[in-house]
């Protein structure tokens, strides 16, 4: 990328770097949403990869409903109850340091 910056004409420079800066900001916003603040947040687990039906990997948010009913609890309710063991396995294997407790179809 060649950028020619003329004296007192910064608009050309701003227009040329804006797409890259926007991408960087979006990435930063996504990263900052996963910071642990002592409060349960669904963003902590929503992008967790879960092995579905033996082969495919899916994001947890694509196969389950995720809610935070209070500040210390995240509930995960899969749309297919057969996925509960796979979700538990993904949570245990993640580096989040969480221990899932299963209550029927709710993890």
Residue 11 in this model has a pLDDT that exceeds 60? yes
Residue 83 resides in a domain: yes
State pLDDT tens for residues 22-68: 999 988 887 877 776 677 778 888 888 999 887 778 889 999 999 98
Q: Where are the beta strands (DSSP E) in 19-79?
A: 49-52, 56-59, 64-70, 73-78
| Residue range of the domain that includes 62 | 42-93
C-alpha neighbours within 13 Å on the C-beta side of residue 83: 25
CATH of the domain at 84: 3.30.1360.40
Residue 67 resides in a domain: yes
Residue 1 in this model has a pLDDT that exceeds 60? no
Domain count, the chain: 1
pTM: 0.62
């Amino acid at each position: 990328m060649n950028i020619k910056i003329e004296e007192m004409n910064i608009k050309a420079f701003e227009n040329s770097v804006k797409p890259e800066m926007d991408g960087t900001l979006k990435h930063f916003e996504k990263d900052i949403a996963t910071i642990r603040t002592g409060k349960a947040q669904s963003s902590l687990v929503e992008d967790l990869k879960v092995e579905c039906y033996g082969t495919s990997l899916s994001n947890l948010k694509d196969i389950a409903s995720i809610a935070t009913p209070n500040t210390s609890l995240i509930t995960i309710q899969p749309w297919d109850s057969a996925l509960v063991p796979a979700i538990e396995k993904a949570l245990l294997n993640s580096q989040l340091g969480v221990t899932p407790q299963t209550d029927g179809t709710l993890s």
